[in-house]
Amino acid sequence: MDVAKAVTQMKISPARDAQLWLSAFEASPMRRVVLFLIGIRDLKQVNDLHGREAGNAVIAEIGRRIGLFAPSLAGAVVAARLPGREFLIVAESDARRAELEQVTRKLLASLGAPMTIQDGELHISARVGVAVSTPGQKGIDLLAAASSALASAYSRKGRKYQFGDSSSKSDPTKNASLDKGLRQALANDEIAIHFQPQFEVASGRLVGAEALARWAHPEFGEIGASELFAVADRCDLREELSFTIQRQALELAEKWPRGDVALRLSINLGAEELADDHAGKLLGLLKEIGFPREHLTVELTEESIVNDFDLALAQLQMLRSKNIRVAIDDFGTGYSSLSYLKSLPLDYLKIDKGMTADIAGSTRDRIVLRAIIALGKALGLQIIAEGVEKEGELEMLRDEGCDYFQGFLKSPPLTAAQFHEFAAQQK
């Protein structure tokens, strides 16, 4: 695939043109098509923070960048704006998977570059779902596969794109049902809180828990946090979902058993909270519920910092000034600058579970883990490892100086009632 710099701009077509093209398409061994479905994750955030005029300007700039990028794809035939916050590029191509990944990363880099809107600089977080046609596949089914891949990309940590699995059928009916039901689930308090216990590496002592969200859907069973937030992203309900989870977690944690050492609660903050006046809202919530601020940790991903560093910094400084601790979550999956670690008011660095599982493998994996722990320690941070499942992993973490861990080795996520009983039994 030719990925040379584009010198001409492809016209951005309306959704109906893309749908007409796809409705007439049927893949064959001689005609292979690749769809790049692009979603703008934080458009609602831009609208809420800067106004709808700024949101429209962002959409126009995204369209312009896609129009410039599309001609660099050999065989590009359609670039279209779809309803809501999605765009589509259609290319007739026989490129291999590695080439398509390279193109997707370049597309994301182009869309993620800072843009000047209303004399200010904005960073946009895009996601891409990629679908490659198989012989006999209809265009409408290919679009459904790309949509399913995009939904998965929204729920992924680190990598911002996902390829559709041609061997499995996407379920647009399920997605539509989940999208329709989430607002009602929030209104009816149907989102439950589970707690992932956290332990001290040296002693095995329970020190706290991370709050996790679960939705017991009447038709599809338990919906985990990743899929739940992917639904919220599609419906622009992420902020409402996050605040609901935080309120419930704080209310439950306020009733935890009181031991010799108070248990800490960890809750997650996303880009939307960090770019809004969420710090003030959270402090008000803490006062209302009566949960001690000094026993709360907020966890944020690297990506949530990058969107608007100055705003994120101000929010975190406000929280830290009130004795709330701050953790970088899933470290090792993102691509943000290490300079953020020294610039932000941090207390903890959480190692992603994917890296924890690798430490018992090659020597190189352990060297990487050792370097991350050493970096955190040099910056005065405490280290938390996620996803610890084997005794050998815990031994290595202990040898390397890790402070805390969570994972199935000691406990899976527990319901609120189970965690309360579990905590009461700890000495």
Pair 130, 28: CB distance under 8 Å: no
Query: If you average pLDDT over residues 381-409, what whole number do you get?
Result: 93
Burial 338-367 (b: 16+ CB within 10 A, else e): eebbeebebebbbbbbebbbbbeeeeeebe
Residue 325 lies in a domain: yes
CA distance 391 to 319: 36
Structural domain ending residue among the three candidates 114, 135, 170: 170
Query: If you average pLDDT over residues 189-194, what whole number do you get?
Result: 95
> Quick one: pLDDT at residue 235?
80
Residue, of 226 and 416, whose pLDDT is higher: 416
Each residue's pLDDT tens digit, 339-390? 677 788 999 999 888 777 667 666 777 888 888 889 889 989 999 999 899 8
Q: What percent of the chain has pLDDT over 90?
A: 35
Cα R_g (the chain), whole angstroms: 23
Residue 20, CB-side half-sphere exposure with 13 Å CA sphere: 6
- Work out the burial of residue 303: count CB atoms within 10 Å of its CB; fewer than 13 is exposed, 13-18 middle, 19 or more buried: buried
Whether the pLDDT of residue 333 is over 70: the answer is no
Give the β-pairing of 126-132 and 33-40.
antiparallel
Each residue's pLDDT tens digit, 51-76? 888 888 888 899 999 988 888 887 88
Query: If you average pLDDT over residues 272-297, what whole number do you get?
Result: 88
Note whether 86 and 218 are same-domain residues: no
Cβ-based neighbour number of residue 8 at 10 Å: 9
Note whether 83 and 213 are same-domain residues: no
Structural domain ending residue among the three candidates 144, 170, 196: 170
Note whether 196 and 161 are same-domain residues: no
DSSP state string for 314-338: HHHHHHHHTT-EEEEEEETS----T
Each residue's pLDDT tens digit, 93-141? 888 888 898 899 899 989 988 888 877 777 788 899 999 988 878 888 8
Residue 1 pLDDT level (bands cut at 50, 70, 90) = very low
Pair 244, 215: CB distance under 8 Å: no
> Quick one: pLDDT at residue 417?
96
Structural domain ending residue among the three candidates 170, 187, 210: 170
Q: Which domain holds residue 88?
A: 15-170
Note whether 323 and 382 are same-domain residues: yes
> Quick one: pLDDT at residue 342?
77
Whether the pLDDT of residue 275 is over 90: the answer is no
Note whether 243 and 389 are same-domain residues: yes
The CATH number that applies at residue 299 is 3.20.20.450
DSSP state string for 145-213: HHHHHHHHHHH-SS--EEE--TTS---HHHHHHHHHHHHHHHHTT-EEEEEEEEEETTT--EEEEEEEE
What is the residue whose two structure tokens read 């989870």?
245
What is the residue whose two structure tokens read 């903050």?
269
Whether the pLDDT of residue 2 is over 70: the answer is no
Non-local (6+) Cβ contacts of 278 within 8 A are 269, 272, 315
Q: What's the whole-model pTM score?
A: 0.72
Note whether 82 and 123 are same-domain residues: yes
CA distance 317 to 99: 42
Total number of domains in the chain: 2
Q: What share of the chain is helix, strand, coil (3-state, %, to 5)?
A: 45, 25, 30
Residue 6 pLDDT level (bands cut at 50, 70, 90) = very low
Cβ-based neighbour number of residue 29 at 10 Å: 8
Residue 165 pLDDT level (bands cut at 50, 70, 90) = low
Q: pLDDT averaged over the chain?
A: 84
Note whether 132 and 196 are same-domain residues: no
Tokens of 221: 């069973």
Note whether 35 and 85 are same-domain residues: yes
Highest mean pLDDT among 138-142, 148-152, 391-395: 391-395
> Quick one: pLDDT at residue 92?
87
